[in-house]
Amino acid sequence: MLCFFFLVYYLSSAACSELLSRHRRSWIINSFTIEEGHPGPFPYELGKITIDRDYRVRFDLYGEGMDEEPKGVLTIDKESGTLYVNRAVDYEEKKMLKLRFEAMNADSSIDTKLGVEIEISDINDNPPRFQRDLFEISVDEDATQGSHVQTMVAHDKDERGTPNSTFHYEIKSVSPNHPDTEFTIDSQSGTMSFKGCLDHEVAEMFTVVVEAKDHGDVVSLSSSSTVIIHVQDGNNHLPAISGQTGSGKVKEHEIGTSPLRLHTTDKDTPNSAAWRAKYTIQGDEGAHFKIETDPDTNDGILTVVKPLDFEEEALRELTISVENEAPYFSCKVKERPPSGLWKVETSKGDVPPPDTVKVSIEVEDVNDPPVFSVSVKEVVLEENAPIGTWVEKVTAVDPDSSHARDFVYKVGSDPAGWVTVDPHTGNITTVGTPDRESPHVSDGLYTILLHAVDNGKPPMTGTATLNIHVTDQNDNVPQPTVGFVDVCVSDGPSTTNISAFDLDVHPYAGPFTFELLGDVKGKWKLNPSHGYTAGLVKEPGVYSGPHTVDVKISDMQGQFAVYNLSVTVCDCSVTPNCRDPRSTATTAAPGALAVLFASLLLIMCLLLMAVFMTCRKEFAPLQPSDSSGDTLVPSNIENPGTDCKVVVGFTEATHNDPSNWGGQHHGIKHSNFSKEMEHNFIYEHLSDFRREDMSHLYNENWNQTTWRSLMANGHHHTHQREETSTMNSHAALQALLHQRLSSLQGKEGDLLDYEPHVYAEEGDLDVLSELENIILPDKDSYQKALNNLGPKFKQLASICKPPHIQN
């Protein structure tokens, strides 16, 4: 039923209030019905609004159904107040229309305002709808009846709580329709289950159509959904062994071979847990075999994992059974009552025995190595036992029954070469002298390996271990740990320690007894004198320096030796360890020699560089000037060679007698030098030397600054040739002589001791050519020559001829 009612709230202006106070008003409220989905025709009259007024009013209506969604549902006659419905309405879209009603005076002022709510009645125009039209699920074949399969959920949009929105579930069809399986659904909750048994081999899939139907009075609406149920295969078929392949043979001592393969059939779905086979071996004593499943064929592969012995058992009987990975089950319908679950019989707790087969594995004989009766033996042997001493006997047997059984004994490992073994009897005797202190003996234990080798093809070898415990003898005397000791000088007695050791062990070793031999009274004594370390006490009267003390050291059995012990007495405040400081120098000698050789090599390289820099490609002989006055003699009398003008060679002199330094000028005779002589001599030997060619001649007192000073004094290269060469030669000769004299001062003693030596050409002295006579001028001629050379050469002469020292 549709009710049209006015919820009146009065809103008016001051004029309306005055009007209401003078006139009585009345409202007439009528009831109307609007039905969802009205078929029409449209528009149709819904009702009329009447207001009792003495004056004329105009009506307006606003809100849902008018100028708000859903628009155009209602209209009103502004003069009469009649309401019209223009089209059908949907309850599921709008359950109520909310509007505002206004009555206007002739002057367009509001006379009355009313709030209007119009309810729309529902009709059954929506069927129940499922969440999906298709559901696809899986159920295990071994699921028990009554188990939950699926829950169906539907919804109806009609008004809640009315018959139009109330519905129930029911199963419309099941395909295939198997007599041992029935699907059910709860009409209210939509929960699906089944009765009876599922069998994958009979029906792998079921298609169930479920309907939801409402309870409408006029008409009943419904919808359906399809449920596809896949039955997952379970293990309701046992595997069966159908056959076997393989040689069934295996060689003894072999592992990893597969002598047998079993074939199995199963009706369950391939590659499922219900189909995959699982094999078990019975009767395999010693666990020599394993069996694995081939994942592709489901065959059982038998493999040897532990060596077999032909002599123990030539034929192995095994029992192999097969079952599936998934547990076996069965289901059978016994009775179908009209209500409730059916009566079924299952076998989950009563599993039939698996399929079983017996197989035989033949072990083939091969050549076995001899086997020692005892693989590890312990014996005791005395140190220094004589050669030929019997040590032990070993015994081996060859287990072969179908092969040659002859074998011999051999020594496999004997690091010190002490023993031998009889190849036939196995007796072990010594061929060397056992020594407990041998590096091959560890904690008194010496280990050898023995072999027993048969004559098979190929020959096989058995091995045994012989541990020889070597007992000690007192065959070593005590020894001091060091051959020298240090002791400090002091006013009172001072002590140093003497330690000893013995290669033997107890009771042939320490603690030791120390004893001093010889005349040691008032000089040396021992305190303590027993133990592994003795105290050597120096009496105050012992002087500093090296001493020798005879020490006798005895072991516990009286075995002794005497040692000459070097004792150094020193002032420990100066040298804490009393070592000769020269030892440090000796230690450092290799390093010093290396530095010395490196320095010499560097000097030689520098000299060679100087030679190559000053060498000329052509030979230029020295031509004596006509004005030399036979002072200079020709020197180019040998075969031509590389004309190397090495300044050092030019400045070399004979230094046999230092008193003659002033009278000998590098091989130049005492004669008068003219200015022309000076020019020719200097020009021929020094004119080709550049300033940088003589840079290596400068020492710490002759440097670049000295050179610039000379140049500033007028010796510039722009002067005339004669003056330039002369001035430069003066400076060069001064530098050369200064360098040579400085280097010779350090060797003055050696030069004074130098004995003249006669050098001769290789060959017979009688055939030597006669040398040109040397003319020695008088003493005054040399001074005259210097006077003619100029002031620079006078300075040079003063350097070459040291001043006379008065005694």
Among 438, 442, 446, residue whose Cα is nearest residue 468:
446
Does 434 have pLDDT greater than 60? yes
Query: What is residue 735's predicted lDDT score, i.e. its pLDDT?
Result: 56
Among 194, 266, 190, residue whose Cα is nearest residue 231:
194
pLDDT tier, 357 (very low <50, low <70, confident <90, very high otherwise)? very high
Query: What is residue 664's predicted lDDT score, i.e. its pLDDT?
Result: 38
Average pLDDT over residues 161-167: 88
Does 322 have pLDDT greater than 70? yes
pLDDT tier, 26 (very low <50, low <70, confident <90, very high otherwise)? very low
235-277 pLDDT tens trace:
888 999 999 999 999 988 889 999 999 999 999 889 988 899 9
pLDDT tier, 137 (very low <50, low <70, confident <90, very high otherwise)? very high
Amino acid at 748: E
359 vs 116: CA distance, rounded Å: 98
Among 689, 628, 688, 664, residue whose Cα is nearest residue 782:
664
Mean pLDDT, the chain, as a whole number?
A: 75
Does 168 have pLDDT greater than 90? yes
**Residues 299, 241 contacting (CB under 8 angstroms):** no
Query: What is residue 662's predicted lDDT score, i.e. its pLDDT?
Result: 38
CA distances from 509 to 208, 381, 469, 497, 534 (A): 102, 20, 19, 19, 15
804 vs 807: CA distance, rounded Å: 9
169 vs 744: CA distance, rounded Å: 133
SS (H, E, C) 45-65: EEEECEEECCCCCEEEEEEEC
Percentage of residues in the chain with pLDDT exceeding 70? 68
Query: What is residue 401's predicted lDDT score, i.e. its pLDDT?
Result: 64
Does 749 have pLDDT greater than 60? no
Hunting for tokens 């059910």 — which residue is that? 184
670 vs 677: CA distance, rounded Å: 13
Query: What is residue 790's predicted lDDT score, i.e. its pLDDT?
Result: 57
CB atoms within 10 A of CB 538: 22
pLDDT tier, 580 (very low <50, low <70, confident <90, very high otherwise)? low
Average pLDDT over residues 747-752: 44
Percentage of residues in the chain with pLDDT exceeding 90? 35
Among 621, 643, 645, residue whose Cα is nearest residue 633:
621
Give 603: exposed, middle or buried? Use CB within 10 Å, 0-12, 13-18, 19+.
exposed
Average pLDDT over residues 520-546: 88
Query: What is residue 11's predicted lDDT score, i.e. its pLDDT?
Result: 30
User: Strand, helix or coil at 120?
Assistant: coil
Distance of CA 460 to the CA centre of its chain: 44
Of 121-130, 444-453, 703-712, 718-727, where does the model show the most confidence?
A: 444-453
Query: What is residue 276's predicted lDDT score, i.e. its pLDDT?
Result: 94
Half-sphere exposure of 589 (CA within 13 A, CB side): 6
Give 402: exposed, middle or buried? Use CB within 10 Å, 0-12, 13-18, 19+.
exposed
pLDDT tier, 400 (very low <50, low <70, confident <90, very high otherwise)? confident
pLDDT tier, 590 (very low <50, low <70, confident <90, very high otherwise)? low
pLDDT tier, 614 (very low <50, low <70, confident <90, very high otherwise)? low
Query: What is residue 475's predicted lDDT score, i.e. its pLDDT?
Result: 81
User: Strand, helix or coil at 290?
Assistant: strand
Average pLDDT over residues 526-533: 91
Does 319 have pLDDT greater than 90? yes
Global pTM? 0.42
Among 159, 120, 119, residue whose Cα is nearest residue 5:
119
pLDDT tier, 558 (very low <50, low <70, confident <90, very high otherwise)? confident
Does 519 have pLDDT greater than 70? yes
144 vs 380: CA distance, rounded Å: 78
Query: What is residue 704's predicted lDDT score, i.e. its pLDDT?
Result: 42
**Residues 354, 323 contacting (CB under 8 angstroms):** yes
CA distances from 92 to 122, 123, 154, 159 (A): 8, 10, 17, 8
Per-position DSSP letters for 179-209, written without gaps between them: TTEEEEE-TTT-EEEEEE---TTT-SEEEEE
Amino acid at 260: L
Query: What is residue 323's predicted lDDT score, i.e. its pLDDT?
Result: 93
Does 468 have pLDDT greater than 90? yes
171-228 pLDDT tens trace:
999 999 999 999 999 999 999 999 999 999 899 999 999 999 999 878 889 999 999 9
325 vs 347: CA distance, rounded Å: 17
31-80 pLDDT tens trace:
566 877 788 888 888 887 777 777 777 888 888 888 888 888 888 888 88
Average pLDDT over residues 417-427: 93
The more confidently predicted of residues 194 and 309 is 194
Per-position DSSP letters for 423-473, written without gaps between them: TTT-EEEESS---TTSTT-BTTEEEEEEEEEE-SSS--EEEEEEEEEEEP-
549 vs 485: CA distance, rounded Å: 10
